[in-house]
Amino acid sequence: MTAFLEHYNYWIAIFLMMAGFYTVVARGNLVKKIVGLNIFQASVFLLYISMGKVEGGTAPILSGKPEVFSNPLPHVLILTAIVVGVATTALGLSFIVRINESYGTTEEDEIQHMDDEP
Amino acid sequence: MIAAHFPILQVVVPLMAAPFVVLFRNGTVAWFISFAVSWFALAISVALLGQVMDAGEISYAIGDWAPPWGIEYRVDKINAFVLLIVSAIAAIVATFARASVEKEIPEDKQVLFYSAFLLCLTGLLGITITGDAFNIFVFLEISSLSSYALIAMGRDRRALTAAFQYLVMGTIGATFILIGIGLIYMMTGTLNIADMAVRIEAVSTSPTTVAAAAFIFVGVGLKLALFPLHLWLPNAYTFAPSMVSAFLAATATKVSVYVMLRFMFTVFGKFFTFEFLPESPILIFLASLAILTASTVAIFQNNLKRMLAYSSVAQIGYMVFGIAMVNVSGLTAGILHLFNHALMKGGLFMALGCIAYRLGATSIEQVAGAGRRMPLTMFAFVIGGLSLIGVPLTAGFVSKWYLLLGAMEKGWWPAAVIVLVGSLLAVVYVWRVVEAAYFRPSPDGATTVEEAPLSMLIPTWVLIGANVYFGIHTDLSVSVAKQAAVQLLGLAP
């Protein structure tokens, strides 16, 4: 039980990961799929950021005094990953706009139905 | 002096060219710059392969930050070979692109199209050359995002849904790779691949490392369209513009196979991957299913692009099959098939691009009678098809030969049977096209010869010719592939 509680940050990340993944798979609306994808990616950001935390560590700013720092590298990596996530979301949403223009809907099953007809 | 900076120039030149192209707002100028940059990239990758074969591994520290702290680009035999594949296909496809893009992409979008093409090339070259695990993820996303955009430029509205589906599945795959890299970083405290390989041995029995391996292999499996994770591929290749299908089919999945090789053999090491984890039987099982089911599905496709897309899934099965044998012949076959499959699929998709240019569509009804209307294009298609089947004197035969050798060395007779059945299925789907093109009248009764323009025919024939050349002169491709296999297996050369 204590092991469970000590690693609560990972449980949060796993919960968000599964929630996002489920949304991507189960929802038929394309916008909801993108939202699920975002939650899925955000969970990985949390996983990275929380792994860099050192107990009692502060921000890694050089002050001359001997101090314990948290590892800044995962934060920097995630900055890049967030940019990638923003680009993915933007591209996904712009596809949805164009899909809506040419199909008149953003529901996956209706699009599937229209593709099967001709 | 400049030769020392080839590794970084390989990536930076196309990266810089991508925004530069947009400044001109002119499709012809944009095409010319992409064309020049692709050939320049090819020249550099040829030089890099020469350097590596003569002098061994090259390590390039970006900004002079010594690895493992700074980002390192590391070129060895295997990735120099993959760099050559990617840049050679890019150069030939860029030559082919002019007429094809003019016809298929609206004029105001052409500049952005070439810009996305250059970004995609940057990403693919970057994944291959980098020696930093997180860099792999970043370049993977650069190439993926630009390829989603490229696919969405297809004329059919289904290109949009195909690109969206690819975006969702590709992002899940890339995020899985990101999780895996994060878990390895947690265990080893490093992102440099060479450093990782050393440090991971101490923690290789930890459940975290096993979870990292699982996430990475599933993520890469999605990217390389390993059966049953291939669902995004057929639609994406079918509805993309002709030039994009040719480029992605010949390069994107190959680079993903390289990433898998890199993680399997360099990072985790063959003992962890194949003895501690039961990877080999899993991969053999999935690859066999890929070869048999995807080849069978390909037979029933009416759209030739979709047929070739399913055939790609089957061909990826052959590569994975060779890799999963974990012996020199099998691995040589896998790496060699990266090269040979790039040649045959690039050539075949370009031939379909010529057909789409003249006949407007690539369904089997449209192709009827095309053997008389477009004799050179159809003949190219037939030779490419023979290579796909693996007929002697074509490149496809050489890789299948090594695959069979590998299976024999292991004593896996059923594996040899699966490879042969896959080839027989390929005979069926290639024959359907030949039958339609040569023995059926064209739908509107036209018999006049209307070939595609020379700017499209010549690049197609260069790749098709390469299939025959590398089917006869096997020394070059086989020796590089074999040395790369020996290096990955960690054997003495």
CB contact under 8 A, B161 and A111: yes
- Does the pLDDT at position B402 exceed 60? yes
Q: In DSSP terms, which residues pair with B132 in a beta bridge?
A: B192
Q: What is the pLDDT of residue B1?
A: 65
Q: What is the pLDDT of residue B164?
A: 93
Q: What is the mean pLDDT of chain A?
A: 88
Alpha helices of B105-230 — where are they, by DSSP H? 110-129, 133-152, 158-188, 193-199, 207-223
Tally the residues of chain B.
Answer: 493
- Does the pLDDT at position B419 exceed 70? yes
Q: What is the pLDDT of residue A1?
A: 66
CB contact under 8 A, B182 and A92: no
Which residue of A lies nearest to B151 if distances are taken between CA atoms? A95
As to burial, measured by CB atoms within 10 angstroms (0-12 exposed, 13-18 middle, 19+ buried), residue A26 is: exposed
What residues contact residue B255 under an 8 Å CB cut-off, 6+ apart? B82, B86, B124, B127, B128, B143
Max CA-CA distance within chain A? Answer: 73
Contact A90/B133 with Cβ under 8 angstroms?
A: no
Mean pLDDT over A59-83 rounds to: 84
- Does the pLDDT at position A118 exceed 70? no
The partner residue sitting opposite B167, judged by closest CB among A47, A84, A92, is: A92
Q: With contacts defined as CB-CB under 8 Å, which chain B residues touch A40?
A: 172, 175
CA distance B227 to B313: 7
The partner residue sitting opposite B178, judged by closest CB among A44, A92, A115, is: A44
Q: 């692009």: which residue's tokens? A: B305
DSSP, collapsed to helix, strand or coil, labels residue B130 as strand
Torsional class of B156: left (φ above 0), alpha (ψ -120 to 50), beta (otherwise): beta
CA distance B375 to B367: 12
CB contact under 8 A, A47 and B141: no
As to burial, measured by CB atoms within 10 angstroms (0-12 exposed, 13-18 middle, 19+ buried), residue A9 is: middle
Which of B1-5, B215-219, B290-294, B396-400 has the lowest average pLDDT?
B1-5
The partner residue sitting opposite B160, judged by closest CB among A40, A88, A95, is: A95
- Does the pLDDT at position A114 exceed 80? yes
- Does the pLDDT at position B92 exceed 70? yes
Name the residue among B335, B374, B366 with its Cα closest to residue B484: B335
CA distance B246 to B232: 16
Contact B142/B125 with Cβ under 8 angstroms?
A: no
DSSP state of A58: B
Question: Which residues 74-103 in chain A show a CB within 8 A of chain B?
Answer: 74, 77, 80-81, 84, 87-88, 91-92, 95-96, 98-99, 102-103
ipTM of model? 0.93
CA distance B384 to B347: 7
Name the residue among B367, B330, B337 with its Cα closest to residue B351: B367
What residue spans define the domains of chain A?
A: 2-54+69-116
Q: What is the pLDDT of residues B222-277, one digit of tens each?
A: 998 888 888 899 999 999 999 999 999 999 999 999 999 999 888 888 888 788 88
Question: Which residues 123-152 in chain B show a CB within 8 A of chain A?
Answer: 134, 137-138, 141, 145, 148-149, 152
Q: What is the mean pLDDT of chain B?
A: 89
Mean pLDDT over B16-34 rounds to: 90
Q: With contacts defined as CB-CB under 8 Å, which chain B residues touch A41?
A: 171, 175
Question: Tokens in use for A33?
Answer: 């799929």
Is residue B61 within a helix (H) or strand (E), and if so which, with residue range? strand B58-61
Is residue B394 within a helix (H) or strand (E), and if so which, with residue range? none
- Does the pLDDT at position B445 exceed 70? no
Distance of CA B5 to CAs B120, B131, B138, B395, Å?
22, 15, 21, 33
The partner residue sitting opposite B164, judged by closest CB among A41, A81, A99, is: A99
DSSP, collapsed to helix, strand or coil, labels residue B72 as strand
Which one of A91, A111, A115 makes the best mutation probe of the B interface by having the most chain B beta carbons within 10 Å? A91
CB contact under 8 A, B175 and A44: yes
Q: With contacts defined as CB-CB under 8 Å, which chain A residues touch B130?
A: none
Contact B176/B216 with Cβ under 8 angstroms?
A: yes
Question: Tokens in use for B426?
Answer: 């390929």
CA distance B236 to B160: 9
The partner residue sitting opposite B160, judged by closest CB among A41, A81, A99, is: A99
The CATH number corresponding to A2-54+69-116 among 1.10.287.3510, 3.40.47.10, 1.10.10.10, 3.20.20.140 equals 1.10.287.3510
CA distance B314 to B287: 8
- Does the pLDDT at position B149 exceed 60? yes
The partner residue sitting opposite A81, judged by closest CB among B148, B160, B178, is: B178
Over pLDDT 70: what percentage of chain B?
Answer: 99
Q: Cα distance from B38 to chain A (closest Cα, Å)?
A: 25
CA distance B75 to B84: 12
* A26 at B interface, C-beta within 8 A: no
CB contact under 8 A, A96 and B175: no
DSSP, collapsed to helix, strand or coil, labels residue B4 as helix
CA distance A30 to B92: 37
Name the residue among B362, B344, B355 with its Cα closest to residue B378: B355
CA distance B35 to A17: 42
Question: Tokens in use for A18?
Answer: 């599964």
